[in-house]
Chain A
Amino acid sequence: MSNSHDHKPGFFARWFFSTNHKDIGTLYLIFGILSGLIGGYLSFMMRLELMEPGFQVFDNPHTFNMYVSMHGLLMIFFLVMPALIGGFGNWFVPLMIGAPDMAFPRLNNLSFWLLPTALICLLISMFIPGNPSGDGFAGSWVMYPPLSTSGHSGPAFDFVIIGLLAAGFSSIFGAINFITTIFNMRAPGMTMHKMPLFAWSVLVTAWLLLLALPVLAAALFMLFFDRNAGTGFFDAAKGGDPEMFQHLFWFFGHPEVYIMVLPAFGIISHIISTFSRKPIFGYLGMAYAMVSIGVVGFIVWAHHMYTVGMDVDLKAYFLAATLIIAVPTGIKIFSWLATMWGGSLSFSIPMQWALAFIFLFVVGGVTGVALANAGYDAAVHDTYFVVAHFHYVLSMGAVFGIFAGFTYWFGKMSGYLYNKYLAAAHFWFFFIGVNLVFFPQHFLGMQGMPRRYVDYPAEFAFYNKISTLGAMVTLVGVLFFLLWLAEAFIVKRKAADNYWGEGANTLEWTLPSPPPFHQFNTLPRIK
């Protein structure tokens, strides 16, 4: 019953020794934005290089591929996961379920502080020898051996391994924390079937993290020992098999892609419901659609490996299982549409991001279903078609989800309102930009342009040029993002408790903006 909790600790203790879910969530968001800027810089350099045939920016193809690899790793492990799960999950899961904090506040802070460690390892790796061709690791985020073993003799990749292990344990601890919080700390009366969908989405995501990441950890250890201690897991000369790495990796990797998008699903559900002034259509269906996506997500991994030469029967199985995931995904899309049907819609900034999310995610989902067909995939595997697919679901799915959530909750988190016009400029430049970047890549892929090459023949020049122009438009969008962020903190327009009004009816809107350092000293009761 002490009152000491009501006082905020001093600066250093507050931000470095934190045990407060909101502060840790803020740290995650800042961290995500910073790594996103680094990852974005890398991708912008890649696009400048690919603007025209020939060499523009890079004089060493190895460096180009190193940028590709680091871009992927940074965006996945250091932007999307920290922002969606660490950032919004930390901020809003306890608020939405009516809990005063996370179950294990110290462990929560460990989850965060392992990430700077991991990032440092990855950044170091870029400046130390990767292999005789250059510095850094250039074997893509999928890290297939033998390129990642005998193909990268320098210590750069060892740092990548250590960094990913640290990031992995960060997520595992985070997952334990979220599941325990959700199972054990819901406010009186909040049954699982009354729990807001964002909390559901984080719950499913946490299970995926908990069960998938240890397998990646095992695979990373195998790589580490193959490289440094002479084991032969992926060395055919010793009886091992590099293909087995792909199995282990994608057993983690496919759940991972859903880890990145499920929290965005949750966020979008809240936004659509808020700005339609209607409860979400088919709430239980929405929750269990996510559960089934999570379950089925574990048994489809080999659709990333159709071209390794696997048995036709096996291909048929993975094809069918993969297509099945489209069913719960479809349930979600149609529920969002049905929620809007007959609602009184308002096209606020978060709603624009959410609508764009739905539209673009459908595009990515449709190309996913196309790729799931092993026969078709054989033609476009490892081409820009795949790049277009996963950027439609990631940089327009997951990232749009992040921006949707950020613009939805920014006032709640910071206490300030942003300038609508700057935020709208951010949205439109970003929306047009990313579509210009990635839509032409479908055509490039179908024409046969392979991924991960620094150069290409003149036939591919046209669409590549458009794509790079799109990157410039996107950059303007990012600048507007930073601008509205800075403006909001400079001008300090105070946000009301519930600045979206009727429609926003989860528990976080019953609290002041920003909420007190410790909320719910008296637990809310849910009828």
Chain B
Amino acid sequence: MADHAVEHDYHLLPPSPWPFLAGLACTVWGVGMVAFFAGLYPRNAADPNGLMEFLFSRGMDMFGAEKVSNGGWIFLALGCIFATIVMIGWWRDVAKEGNTGDHTPVVQIGLRYGMIMFIMQEVMFFVGWFWMFFEFVLFRKERANWNPDVLEGASAYADSYGLNAAGNQFSTIGAWNLPLLNTLVLLLSGTTVTWAHHALIKNDRKSASTGLVLTFLLGFIFIFLQGLEYKEAFHERLANGFWLDSNIYGSTFFLATGFHGLHVLIGAIFLFSIWLRLIKGSMTPKQHFGFEAAAWYWHFVDVVWLFLFTFVYVVFAMG
């Protein structure tokens, strides 16, 4: 079948090892997740030194009351490292193709669609967490008044919010401290990334670089402050009755803000890698989709935080 020359602008690719390796990495990561969080191998005090037990008994026990040391984290770490290597290799290929002109205008439109939809699915992921938060926490009083036959454990539910006593039984994190600061940090980073974008369009690469650096630094500051907040909460968890395993407020709070924090981390790394590409000379005033994708993602992370701040901190504190 003698094919004639390619006369379209779409991007056909030669075979690539990355997807297959990503599948392998995901397998290692999955085994690691189960070993670390659940444990695949029973702990057997009689023979504590077996290799299987070392690698596959529950890694989380490191943090437990007895602090058993073990290697349950190893597979998880290996999986994460493996996946990171794959991602670096994959995206380096993408960047190379972008630089060598494979990303024609029509391909760029496709990348845009792709990124928009990726963000849409992230939004739906957070819809799940907000749904839980609204149901359990914001409407907790309404729920507690529901028919006890309908709501399982209604009284335990009410108790956990101190509704039978006066006020909340546990103290939470006030909105107007670190969370407010973090809100300002993220909002500021939204402006710096826009500054960087405009600078890049005007071919002022120096300002673009400064703006980007500021943006991901602000991102890392956000994560640092969030870490401080968690640390404090962890140390006071017994006194305050507020941790992810204390009650449903703690669970929704830590998982929703935690997954958000994870996304901030991803976004900041994304911006960092874009900055590396920028100072190495790629990205032109006309063509810099990688930059835009990172910026979109960053705004998405920002907006999720605004919702979290409004509802999880402010509205919750109002009662």
Contact = CB atoms under 8 A, between A and B. Distances in A.
Contact of B125 (A9, A217, A228): A217
Most buried by B among A107, A219, A228: A228
Contacts of A103: 110, 113-114
Q: What's the interface size class on B, roughly?
A: 35 or more
A17 B15 contact: yes
A109 B30 CA distance: 19
Contacts of B118: 176
B23 A242 contact: no
A161 to B, nearest CB: 9
Contacts of A344: none
Contacts of A110: 18-19, 22-23
Contact of A163 (B5, B19, B30, B122): B30
Nearest to A112: B19
A211 B121 contact: yes
Contacts of A236: 152-153, 156-157
B1 interface: yes
A215 interface: yes
A2 B290 CA distance: 25
Q: What's the interface size class on A, roughly?
A: 35 or more
Contacts of B250: 231-232
A238 B160 contact: yes
Interface in B130-174: 131-132, 135-136, 140, 143, 147, 149-153, 156-157, 159-161
Given A1-B5, A176-B118, A229-B245, A113 B19 contact: yes
B131 A248 contact: yes
Interface SS of chain B: helix, strand, loop or mixed? helix
B20 A155 contact: no
Given A117-B27, A179-B113, A518-B12, A244 B38 contact: no
B23 A114 contact: yes
Interface of A: 1-6, 9, 13-14, 16-19, 99-101, 103-110, 112-114, 116-117, 120-121, 128, 155, 158-159, 162-163, 166, 172, 175-177, 179-181, 183-185, 210-215, 217-219, 221-222, 224-225, 227-233, 236-244, 247-248, 308-310, 512, 516-518, 520-523
Interface of B: 1-8, 10-20, 22-24, 26-27, 30, 33-34, 37-40, 60, 90, 106, 109-110, 113-114, 117-118, 120-129, 131-132, 135-136, 140, 143, 147, 149-153, 156-157, 159-161, 244-252, 254-255, 259
22 contacts: A17-B16, A105-B12, A108-B19, A110-B22, A155-B38, A159-B30, A210-B124, A211-B120, A214-B123, A214-B124, A215-B125, A225-B251, A229-B37, A229-B60, A232-B248, A232-B251, A233-B136, A248-B128, A309-B147, A516-B3, A517-B3, A523-B8
